[in-house]
Structure 1
């Protein structure tokens, strides 16, 4: 029954259409969502929301919850992807240099139900529609719904999910987002610490489910969600954030640092420890010892970065004022 869908109908589409789908599916990919949310948190102002930093931090926590929820459900149901999901057919015009990136975008591995892209896109773009103040609510929902529909369709066009995978993924995302909205609301100000805590609990629960079914990669994905969410929770509870803006140079530096931490975490998850560090045994236990602090630091740094930038800027401003007085 799950195999009934559009995979067979889309299998004969022109390679140019499939290539466009591989590009558009990045709108729901982990790297794109978290990069976009980090930049929103750093650069968002009162034109987007009355409390832009609070909203930005809340949405980062929503994204981490989405990773935990999809990981837990995939570990619970253990349903495979469509045949051939792990292989890519490269367009003739695609340069050799771009083929690894294309293969990463156009293929899927491990379990397929529900679609993680559908869950993540629904929760993140739905969260943007729910928490931002730009435009009117109906317009925000229409835009978010359109993006979710595009991302979901690309997963079926690429042959990495059945139709039911993305439909259920959207439904799960809507339910989870509804719950998180209730968790986050506190008067007119969202509470990022509450959502980060919920994401931490969801990540731990996902890890328990994955451990019970013996799925090492899913345990590590859950650890990324739990470790990252706890990092965001701890920083927000202890320090909150500065309202000072993050300038473009600081944003580039912050993106590089956070990106390196996330790449390290996912590198340990996908490649393993011997390749990354070359000295420790490649076991789930040792990989967890690497993934947890890396993901913790990555999200903690995103949340703390405006504070770090403000503290670094103050001595420079003081020196400038002193020189002006002289």
Structure 2
């Protein structure tokens, strides 16, 4: 009933369909969205938005809110994914080195309703259409709709969600985005601190819901949302917008540090803590104590990075100052 037979129909499709869907679905994956929004915040200029730094941080906060909303609803409803969602066949033409990455992209674990990819894609790409100034508003929303539809369809093709899951995800994403847009509005530029604070509260609520339900994986994902949102809120409140531009060298160095922090947080969520000399047991409690500061530092560093490179003042890192 949830899928109207679409999952089974796509499973009988041509062999190339699943690899294409695995590539398309990355447009709604956490790593792609966080990286893209980080670069938008660091490199965005007035050709994209009147207040690019405010817009970039607001969208990053919206992405964290999407994670919190997804985690809370999945943990609360606890609806399973389609049968076989956790398995996939690696194409024979794919190099062995990429096999693990392909399986991660083509499979799904945890609960299935609503679709987290559909929620995140709707909120982030809808947020881009809402807050950016490039092109016309109609064209921006048309482009966002195409991407959201492609990501949502890819989840069905991969067999990790039913049609109802992605449709519900789109509806939830639109409602959440509308609420956050109202919270963010303040004159001619958005207020990232308001959205970060709202995302942090949503993350804490999601953590409580997941904890009470006994869903350890969702507890840790909620911790990423809460920790990251609090980190972004604190730095923005302390520093606000920084006009220093982040050049290519600075972006590469900053992305490496932020990426390591995010990989650490998500790695602990997925595979657990390494046992350090037998002292730190791999339990949800200790994972939570590690995930919270890692996600806090990751988002805090993203928001603070223009200030960092501005203080360094090295031409090879800071680049040319952004126009005010």
Rounded Cα–Cα distance in structure 2 between residues aligned with 1:291 and 1:277: 20
Equivalent residue number for residue 154 of structure 2: 154
Rounded Cα–Cα distance in structure 2 between residues aligned with 1:128 and 1:215: 32
Rounded Cα–Cα distance in structure 2 between residues aligned with 1:170 and 1:255: 30
Is residue 26–residue 32 contact of structure 2 (8 Å, CA) maintained in 1? yes
Decide whether aligned partners of structure 1 residues 315 and 93 sit closer, same or farther in structure 2, where only a CA change above 3 A counts: closer
1:95 aligns with 2:95: yes
Rounded Cα–Cα distance in structure 1 between residues aligned with 2:207 and 2:55: 27
Equivalent residue number for residue 261 of structure 1: 261
Is residue 268–residue 276 contact of structure 1 (8 Å, CA) maintained in 2? no
1:301 aligns with 2:309: no
Equivalent residue number for residue 321 of structure 2: none
Rounded Cα–Cα distance in structure 1 between residues aligned with 2:226 and 2:5: 34
Cα displacement (A) at 1:5: 4.0
Equivalent residue number for residue 322 of structure 2: none
Cα displacement (A) at 1:208: 0.7
Give the superposed CA RMSD: 1.5
Rounded Cα–Cα distance in structure 1 between residues aligned with 2:16 and 2:245: 41
Cα displacement (A) at 1:96: 1.5
Task: Report SS of the residue matched to 2:313.
Answer: helix
Rounded Cα–Cα distance in structure 1 between residues aligned with 2:62 and 2:155: 22
Is residue 247–residue 316 contact of structure 2 (8 Å, CA) maintained in 1? no
1:76 aligns with 2:111: no
Task: Report SS of the residue matched to 1:186.
Answer: coil
Equivalent residue number for residue 179 of structure 1: 179
Cα displacement (A) at 1:183: 0.2
* 1:97-154, Cα deviation, whole Å (9 max, x unpaired): 1110100000000101000000000000000000000000000000000000000000
Cα displacement (A) at 1:92: 2.1
* 1:252-277, Cα deviation, whole Å (9 max, x unpaired): 00000000000000111111112688
Is residue 275–residue 281 contact of structure 2 (8 Å, CA) maintained in 1? no
Equivalent residue number for residue 321 of structure 1: none
Rounded Cα–Cα distance in structure 2 between residues aligned with 1:119 and 1:111: 14
* 1:150-187, Cα deviation, whole Å (9 max, x unpaired): 00000000000000000000000000000000000001
Is residue 196–residue 230 contact of structure 2 (8 Å, CA) maintained in 1? yes
Normalization by structure 2: what TM-score? 0.95
Equivalent residue number for residue 113 of structure 1: 113
Rounded Cα–Cα distance in structure 1 between residues aligned with 2:34 and 2:98: 23
- In structure 1, list runs of 5 or more residues that go unmatched: 318-326
Normalization by structure 1: what TM-score? 0.95
- In structure 2, list runs of 5 or more residues that go unmatched: 318-324
Equivalent residue number for residue 63 of structure 2: 63
Number of residue equivalences: 317
* 1:38-77, Cα deviation, whole Å (9 max, x unpaired): 0000000000000000000000000000000000000011
Decide whether aligned partners of structure 1 residues 154 and 315 sit closer, same or farther in structure 2, where only a CA change above 3 A counts: closer
Rounded Cα–Cα distance in structure 2 between residues aligned with 1:279 and 1:101: 31
Rounded Cα–Cα distance in structure 1 between residues aligned with 2:186 and 2:300: 23
Decide whether aligned partners of structure 1 residues 104 and 314 sit closer, same or farther in structure 2, where only a CA change above 3 A counts: closer
Rounded Cα–Cα distance in structure 2 between residues aligned with 1:5 and 1:242: 51
Is residue 249–residue 316 contact of structure 2 (8 Å, CA) maintained in 1? no
